[in-house]
Structure 1
Amino acid sequence: MLVGKDFFFVVRHAPLVSIDLLVTDAHGRVLLGRRRNRPAQGVWFVPGGRIRKDEGLDAAFRRIVADELGVAGARRGDAVPRGVFEHHYADNFAGEPGVTTHYVVLAYAWTLPGGEPDGKPPGQPDQHSAYCWMAPAELLARDDVHEYTKAYFR
């Protein structure tokens, strides 16, 4: 996995490819996490993650669901593709001026098996400071939900 200078080189020179998870519970609410890190720091965003080099889409989907939600064995075939999106950010993970971040995002809608997890949804505390469930109409009306997340539900 790329870290430090190698990852910064990639961010500076190439788009990142990722999977965003449009996770709903049995009530149709959407799972959001408040981002700790750049880009999109401090706003509510759907869970997701980058696809690693030489990682197949099925393996990436399984890993991202396990990492972001704590759910093992998820199958991409059980999710509904919602399209390919581009996300352009004026900043980057390192906060270096003049370097943008560009993502090509594969969005998948997926209903969490068994509905909502007990208590706080599991996830990555280094990536999100909090999690919440919002109805699509609610997230579309809020100023603290990122525009790229809203685009998935328009």
Structure 2
Amino acid sequence: MNGVSPEALQAAIATIRDAVGSATRGLPEEVFLLASSLTPMINVDLLIQDEDGRSLLTWRHDRFYGPGWHIPGGIIRFKESAASRIAAVAAGELGASVSAGSTPIGLHEITNPNRDIRGHFISLLYACRLSSPLDEARRFSAEAPRNGDWAWHDRAPDDLIAQQRIYIPDINRSRHTTAGEAGQ
């Protein structure tokens, strides 16, 4: 075990636990990055489509994935429900609220073979519908692209981030329904 004594390992774990506090509020960035290099992360992805079958994507430009388009999503926190994370993603990334089906429409394993940190995810894809207006201040502008801005897409764009290309059939399919809509 790399020459680290069990006592030293326990001391390191105790230090991390003290730094984290309650993991239900999320993790400090460095602890999250450590955790993501040790185990797959479970996340929700929100396939939001309108009446015309367009899909809502957000622009991403960060050190891990960008630049490119992606389906809004987020990692489920410790003891957080998928429904709560869906609501948090919609509020945080879009400034809006959504209704979502009670079960995912897709389950995907997403990996990046060239990276350990943030390199393995189990992604739950949920069909969602907007239940409030989008934050217009976050509308994408090609002249001044900003991380997190949104735009509607008729089809999957060529610059969809590589790890989300598995969603091309879902983005290009005309329209998914949420569980609530299916029963109407």
Question: Could you tell me the TM-score, scaled by structure 1's length?
Answer: 0.74
The separation in 1 between residues aligned to 2:96 and 2:35, in whole angstroms, is 29
Displaced runs of 4+ in structure 1, greater than 6 A? none
SS at match of 1:66: helix
Partner of 1:47: 72
Contact 1:20/1:108, CA 8 A, preserved across alignment: yes
Q: Which has the larger radius of gyration?
A: 2
Higher relative contact order (CA 8 A, sep 6+): 1
CA drift of 1:80 comes to 6.1
| AA partner of residue 131 (structure 1) | W
Higher strand share: 1
The 1:9–1:65 alpha-carbon spacing in structure 2 relative to 1, beyond 3 Å, is same
1:38 and 2:63 aligned: yes
Q: Is the 8 A contact 2:47 2:126 kept in 1?
A: yes
Deviations 1:103-131 (A, max 9, x none): 110001112236x6474557xxxx82532
2:154 is aligned with 1:135: yes
Aligned pair count reads 139
Q: CA RMSD in A?
A: 2.8
Long gaps (5+) in structure 1: 93-97
Q: Residue type matched to 1:87 in 2?
A: I
SS at match of 2:91: helix
Superposition pairs of residues 56-71 of structure 1, within 5 angstroms:
56-71=81-96
Q: Which amino acid aligns with 1:128?
A: N
Identity %: 28
More helix by share: 2
TM-score for both structures, normalised by structure 2: 0.63
Q: Note the residue ranges of structure 2 that are not aligned, 5 or more in a row.
A: 1-25, 140-145, 170-184
